[in-house]
Amino acid sequence: MNRSLKVLSVAAIVAIFAILALLIVRSEPSRREATFFPMGGIPFKVVAYGRSAVEFDADMAAVKRRVEDLEQRFNRFKEGSELAAVNGLDPGSSLEISSDMQRIIALSREWHGASLGAFDPTVTPLIELWRESGREGRLPDASRIAAARSMVGFDKVRVRGGKVRFARDGMSLDFGAIAKGLIADEVANLLMRRGVARGVIDAGGNGLAFGAGSFRFGIQDPMKERGMLMGAVDVTMGGVVTSGSYERFVKIGGRRYSHIIDPRDGMPVENGMIAATVVGGTGAGADSLATALMVLGKDEGRRVVKSLEGYDAMLVEGGPLGPVVWVSANLASRLVLTKEWAERVRLF
């Protein structure tokens, strides 16, 4: 073989290897991840597969805009927000609302019904009453609870022709139990429209897997400090949301009162429930159902979960011999728990 041919064949081999290496790199599904801190600083994580760095940067810019926009609608504490305007409605008057606001109200109505009234974003006057009582350091008396209760009830929220009005004075909405889940749904839809085939969203603990493939989510141990897991669950397309009374509560007379209110008696929930994790369905559905299960407790809660297509749940309930973990049968094969928790499982 003459010298120039030999050089050529070496160059050809190098080129073939380079092309092969490039193909391997290209076929590797690129995983991209970014976290930002909207909604008063909650970590909002987005994972997307199959995106170039440039595409993912543009995706994230669009995600941030959408999340900011929705926060400006759904956050009752944010000055100038659409919800602040709704909550400030003069008695008897109505207000034209955005399609996003119509959607969250319609979804809330749906989940209010599906949860037998346990999920009710009109509990705001009761939330405020219990917060105030926490500051005062004394329990509210029955008359104050009754007064607040008269301003609660989702059936008193009326939407017609794109306008909302309240059937009672003093009513107001709080979407704290559904908004993060709905925002996760909206972000997943936005990413899919932009061409992201699969990914994961974690909106401050409200998980959502979208597109093809299965993803593993950790589940917080309700008896341990933040970040310690009781186990993990594999999810294919659907939400993973945990609601619990272990992190947020008011203290009155040395006792803890949950931040979740039972709309049926106006009291902070106190039914032995420690945490409820919902797996499946939409982000909004999993979020509102998780809160509702905390209210319903394990008996009614298990019935409601069984009545819903596409939703599974794990309920952690305190007991005299330590906590019991109620796991819906469909979930068992996709759930791994630490040994100490696995010993406490009962299927339903």
The stretch near ligand AMP (CB under 6 A) out of 41-49, 57-65, 161-169, 257-265 is: 257-265
Task: Provide the mask over 150-179, with x wherever binding to ligand AMP is found by CB under 6 A and - wherever it is not.
Answer: ------------------------x-xx--
Judge contact between 278 and 286, C-beta under 8 A: yes
Among 100, 120, 185, 317, which residue interacts with ligand AMP (rule: CB under 6 A)? 120
Q: In what order do the strands lie in the sheet with 215-220?
A: 215-220, 229-235, 335-337
**Residues in contact with 308: Cβ distance below 8 Å, sequence separation at least 6, in sequence order:** 114, 281, 289
Residue of minimal Cβ distance to ligand AMP: 176
> Pattern 215-254, binding to ligand AMP, x per CB under 6 A?
----------------------------x-----------
Q: Which amino acid is at 15?
A: A
Which listed option, Mg ion, ligand AMP, none, makes contact with residue 259 (CB within 5 to 8 Å by class)?
ligand AMP
Give the Cα separation of 270 and 216 in Å (integer). Answer: 31
Give the one residue of 260, 286, 316, 335 binding ligand AMP; rule: CB under 6 A.
260
Residue 71's alpha-carbon distances to 19, 24, 206, 229, 304, in angstroms, are 47, 41, 15, 29, 30
Return the number of the residue (237 or 278) whose C-beta is nearest Mg ion.
278
Three-point CA angle 290, 298, 222, nearest 5°: 60
The tokens for 326 are 């109620």
Bridging pattern class, strands 215-220 and 229-235: antiparallel
The only residue of 122, 133, 291, 328 in contact with Mg ion, by rule CB under 5 A: 291
Q: Which is nearer to Mg ion, 298 or 344 (by Cβ)?
A: 298
Residue 174 binds which of Mg ion, ligand AMP, none (CB < 5-8 A, kind-dependent): ligand AMP
Residues that bind Mg ion (CB under 5 A): 177, 243, 287, 290-291
Residues that bind ligand AMP (CB under 6 A): 118-121, 123, 127, 174, 176-177, 243, 259-261, 263, 287, 290-291, 295
